[in-house]
Amino acid sequence: MDEFYKEPLSKGAVKYYEKVRDLIQYCNYDQSYDGSEVIWLWGQQAELGEVLADNKVPDKYIDEVASHMSCNGCGCEDFDRYSTIGLIDLIDKEVQDKIEKANKKYKKHIEKLLEYINSYPSLALNNPVAKAIHKEISNSKVPECTIENVTVYRCRMPEGNKTFSFKEIHAPEVGISNAGRYNHFGQSVLYVSSYPETAVTEVSGESKGDIKIWMQKYTIKKIGKILDLTSDWEGFLKLSTIFTAIINNRILEQTSPGNTSTWKPEYLFTIFISDCAKSCGYNGIKYPAIKGVGENYVFFDPLNKEIVPAEPPPTHRFQIQS
Ligand SMILES: [Zn+2]
């Protein structure tokens, strides 16, 4: 008989098998090895027979069900009740459940809010989800951070042979700027990036190849009460349900094709968040960079004395990938 041949599942075992068939996330073959010794990296280690018993598979069916299981990681099908398997990590499971719950509860409502805010930007607070967001920010339910001794960067594209001063690279004064991700038309705020490369991509637009660019480096000595809208995977567990849905669905990172239009609906929601933050006493927002790595920051007061420029702004050459 073919060694891979398996007897079909008996009628009694089928319903138990259906419940547990996706349980094995990883197996021995997905791990790392030091010689013949397995170094367990992936999944919560467990013995298959025990996991099946925990999942209410009667003992008389465990051998049969185990032999029909396969691994989601590598597809292998070589299991018995004594096999060591990797279950989904508890934290991963918790995060996945949270995201699923958040999407179920808020995803559609957030889409409705985006439509509403598109038509009536200044009436956003009429929308129940917008109201809830404002309430969470005002009750300090959203993570915040202090930025201390952090180096950040800001760039400007060259204009011929003109030498830019610090003032010309720094935040435009009131009445100069276009609407930005976290500012209304003409408001003066300072945007900076945590990495020089990200600061370059923020201004380089369609430019490609070797470009000379003006770059101002700053040290942020200490600025507290910064709304933190970045989150790593485990960070979702610290977020409220609404902000889990917002950040997981990348609502803060919307873009629109072509940037010549003065109508920027992709910024209306983030500008609303920034109004909420500012009105609740926050000094700025930390948010995920869209075009590069790391984070960006917006500071609501560009003249804050804790923002210390390295003088004078030098030019740098950068290679912009297409
Ligand atoms: Zn496997």
For position 263, what pLDDT does the model report?
87
Q: 182 and 41, same structural domain?
A: no
Least confident of 142-156, 166-180, 218-232, 303-317: 303-317
For residues 117-125, average pLDDT: 96
Residues 312 and 277 in one domain: yes
Within-domain flag for 5: no
Q: What is the mean pLDDT of the chain?
A: 92
Which amino acid type is present at position 33? Y
How far, in Å, is the centroid of ligand 1 from the Cα of 71? 5
For residue 100, name the pLDDT band (cuts at 50, 70, 90).
Answer: very high
Q: What is the mean pLDDT of residues 294-314?
A: 92
Q: Which of 59, 88, 117 is the last residue of a domain?
A: 88
State the total domains in the chain: 2
| CA 67–ligand 1 middle distance (angstroms) | 14
Q: State in Å: Cα 99 to ligand 1 middle.
A: 26
- Does the pLDDT of residue 161 top 90, yes or no? no
Query: Both 128 and 45 in a single domain?
Result: no
| Ligand 1 center–CA 72 separation, angstroms | 6
Average pLDDT value for residue range 117-122 = 96
Indicate if 57 and 198 belong to the same structural domain. Answer: no
Query: Would 114 be classed as within a structural domain?
Result: yes
275 shares its domain with 313: yes
* CA 232 – ligand 1 centroid, Å: 26
Reported as a pLDDT band with limits 50, 70 and 90, residue 259 is: low
Q: What's the 92 CA to ligand 1 centre distance in angstroms?
A: 18
Structural domain range at position 70: 14-88
Residue 6 falls inside a structural domain: no
Q: How far is the CA of 222 from the centre of ligand 1 (A)?
A: 48
Domain membership flag for residue 7: no
Last residue of a domain, one of 88, 116, 142: 88
Which of 115-119, 217-221, 253-257 is least confident? Answer: 253-257
For residue 28, the CA-to-ligand 1 centroid distance in Å is 6
From 88, 107, 136, the end of a domain falls on: 88
43 C-alpha to ligand 1 centroid (Å)? 10
Percentage above 90 pLDDT, the chain: 73
Residues 18 and 101 grouped into a single domain: no
What per-residue confidence (pLDDT) applies to 243? 97
Centre of ligand 1 from the C-alpha of residue 290, in Å: 35
The CA 66 to ligand 1 mean position distance, Å, reads 14
Residues 149 and 231 grouped into a single domain = yes
Which of the listed ranges 3-12, 136-145, 309-318 does the model predict with the highest average pLDDT? 136-145
Same domain? 251 vs 180: yes
Residue 3 within a domain = no
Q: 227 and 80 in one domain?
A: no
Tell me what percent of the residues of the chain surpass a pLDDT of 70: 98
Q: Are residues 194 and 268 in the same domain?
A: yes
46 located within any domain: yes
Per-residue pLDDT at 305 = 97
CA of 9 to the centre of ligand 1 (A): 22
Please report whether residue 215 resides in a domain. yes
Q: What is the pTM of this model?
A: 0.79
Q: Do 76 and 218 belong together in one domain? A: no
Instruction: Say what the pLDDT of residue 1 is.
Output: 46
Q: Is there a domain that residue 174 lies in?
A: yes
pLDDT in tens, 74-84: 999 999 999 99
Does 108 share its domain with 46? no
